Structure 1
Amino acid sequence: MPAITICIPAYAMGGDGARYLAESFDHLCKQSFTDFDIVVSDQSDDADVETLCRAYEDRLSITHLWNRDGPRQASANVNNAMVHASGDVVKVLFQDDFIIDINGLKAIFDAMGQGADWCLCGSGVTRDGHTLMRPMTPRLTDRLHFGKNTVSSPSVLAMRRASLMSFDEELIWLMDVDLYKRLWDRYGHPAIVEDTVIANRMHDGQVSASVSKALRQRELRYMSRKFAKTTRLRGWLEYFRQRLKAL
């Protein structure tokens, strides 16, 4: 079994999906840590992602899975990939993001050591795939689960397979912060890699760019019920602030 399995939810993404994934594969080919495999859960209606996976089989260990019958959303698609992970560490990586640090996987594996249940790493954003902006080190706060995201995208997350938690498939906008909150509540603080490991790609096709106010309101109400017993005062203040923003 590999030390790390990288789980990638994929879809056509308006024709850009395979291109973004190829760039991510190129960065993975350069990693100094090589004891990893990749699981791609593919919801594309065409075969571009599957063809790309076959093209990289001589350089990377890739399992391509069709997931056309599952719910067409990121949470369900990445959950499908994680179910098929065999590594001791399960690393989430969305197809339009990539690991920019050649020592990124080694840093994550070393930080988790033999005991950490989960890990978060530093990230930045890019529009051109080269220039990195707004670097951030992840931190957990009482306001996190209501949309004050001080951690970053799901691509900064790794979990030990024995401690694996799935994304809540009821959520779209808050799917990442919901999982961070649940992991924090169950396992305590994560191992933190402060280095900038992940490049989050900014583009017009991002799901976050098309989230409606109605969806925000629905998910905020859902989260308020889900975490009613563990939300502190600062969390409730953030909840009402986000509700006002979504009016």
Structure 2
Amino acid sequence: MKPFQEADYIKKADTIPLTICVPVYNGEKYLRECLDSLATQSFNNFLVLTIDNASTDDTQKICQEYEDPRFFYTRNPENIGSGPNHNRGLDLAKTEFVKLFSADDILFSDTLELQVKALRNHPEAALATSDCIVTGPQLEPLHEARYLQGSLTGDQAIQACVNLIDNKIGGPSNTLLRRSCVGSLRFDTSYKWLADLEFHCRVLRQGGYINIGKPGFYYRRHSATDSEIGCPPEVRERDERAFIRAYARSPLPRLRFELRRLKRRLG
């Protein structure tokens, strides 16, 4: 990969519509599979920016193996945390569309093509999402995760999530964002469990929602993910309470939250 030079990137971004940002920390185990899936997309007019959060493994070495001129690499001098590293990608992206993609996931070959088409066909939409196939560490399929279907207003999507107290939009790997709707919005690092949902809800205040209607990637679950490491039950409850407080319009989500909390306490 080329070392990231902002002037060089901005020059390319003038003629290229999409940047895929890949925040990574110690990703040597799965990173190569992830990057290979990006390199083989049917829609190929994009840039990849890998943002290494001061990894101590062979992440940098793996990135240097890629000679694709669309791929760029930058490294933080110190680990700034997962949320701020995602935000750094949003700071650096200058193209019409931006996708944050997890370094342990695998993008299906037609996903970018379908998501770009969806946003171009629906100029009112702030983001295009997809369903996904949830897998184990070795990509063994576990189940298909489905999110809100079809085309909705941003408010409809937000209220569906808050009423269910559930992320029915998807994580960063699910979505393609219209950068004009993202603007200066960034992940709120006070959230851990629901950081991606809360960020997407603020983006959806700027425009509509659309789902391409099929799985777009393999979502790999393993013991080293941010949600497994940093989101014990008390953190999840704290985030859910904050999300309800910020977005609920009726008592229903609060009642549902208390009932769930009681069931967890009772076993």
TM-score by length of 2: 0.79
Q: Which amino acid aligns with 2:118?
A: A
> C-alpha displacement at 1:70, in angstroms?
5.5
Find out whether 1:239 has 2:257 as its counterpart.
Answer: yes
CA shift at 1:220, angstroms?
3.0
Q: Does 1:215 align with 2:215?
A: no
Q: Report which of the two structures shows the higher radius of gyration computed on alpha carbons.
A: 2
- 1:63 corresponds to which of 41, 60, 72: 72
Higher mean C-alpha deviation, range 18-27 or range 38-47: 38-47
**Number of the residue aligned with 1:3:** 17
The alpha-carbon distance between structure 1 residues 218 and 246, as it changes in their structure 2 partners (threshold 3 A), is farther
Which residue of structure 2 lines up, in the alignment, with residue 81 of structure 1? 89
Write the distance in 2 (CA, Å) between the matches of 1:201 and 1:60.
Answer: 27
Equivalent residue in structure 2 for 1:126, among 132, 135, 153:
135
- Give 1:143 shift: 5.5
1:187-243 per-position Cα deviation (integer Å, ceiling 9, x unaligned):
34312111211210011112222322222233233334433xx43343223332444
CA–CA distance in 2 between the matches of 1:141 and 1:84?
27
Aligned equivalents of 1:141 and 1:244: distance in 2? Answer: 25
Following TM superposition, by how much is the alpha carbon of 1:147 offset from its aligned partner in structure 2, in angstroms? Answer: 4.4
C-alpha distance after superposition, 1:11-66 (max 9, x if no partner): 01xxxx1231110111112111110111122113426222222211x225222222
State how far apart, in whole Å, the 2-side matches of 1:44 and 1:163 are.
30
Alignment of 1:71-220 (within 5 A): 71-72=80-81, 74-99=82-107, 101-113=108-120, 115=123, 116-139=125-148, 140=157, 142=159, 144-145=161-162, 147-164=165-182, 165-184=185-204, 186-210=205-229, 211-220=231-240
In structure 1, C-alpha distance between the alignment counterparts of 2:257 and 2:160, rounded to whole Å: 8
Tell me the percent identity: 24
Paired residue type of 1:37 = L
Aligned residue for 1:117, secondary structure, equals: strand
Q: TM-score, normalised by structure 1?
A: 0.85
Q: Which runs of 5+ in 2 are unaligned?
A: 1-12, 149-156
1:104-133 deviation digits (Å, cap 9, x = unpaired): 110010010061321111211112544434
Q: 1:136 to 1:216 in 2, by over 3 A?
A: closer
Tell me the distance in 1 between the aligned counterparts of 2:44 and 2:29: 23
Specify whether residues 107 and 244 from structure 1 end up closer, same or farther in structure 2 by C-alpha distance, changes over 3 A only.
Answer: same
Aligned length: 237
Question: Is contact 1:94–1:154 with CA below 8 Å preserved after alignment?
Answer: yes
Tell me, which stretches of 5 or more residues in structure 1 are unaligned?
Answer: none
User: Structure 1 53/79 Cα, relative in aligned 2: closer, same or farther at 3 Å?
Assistant: same
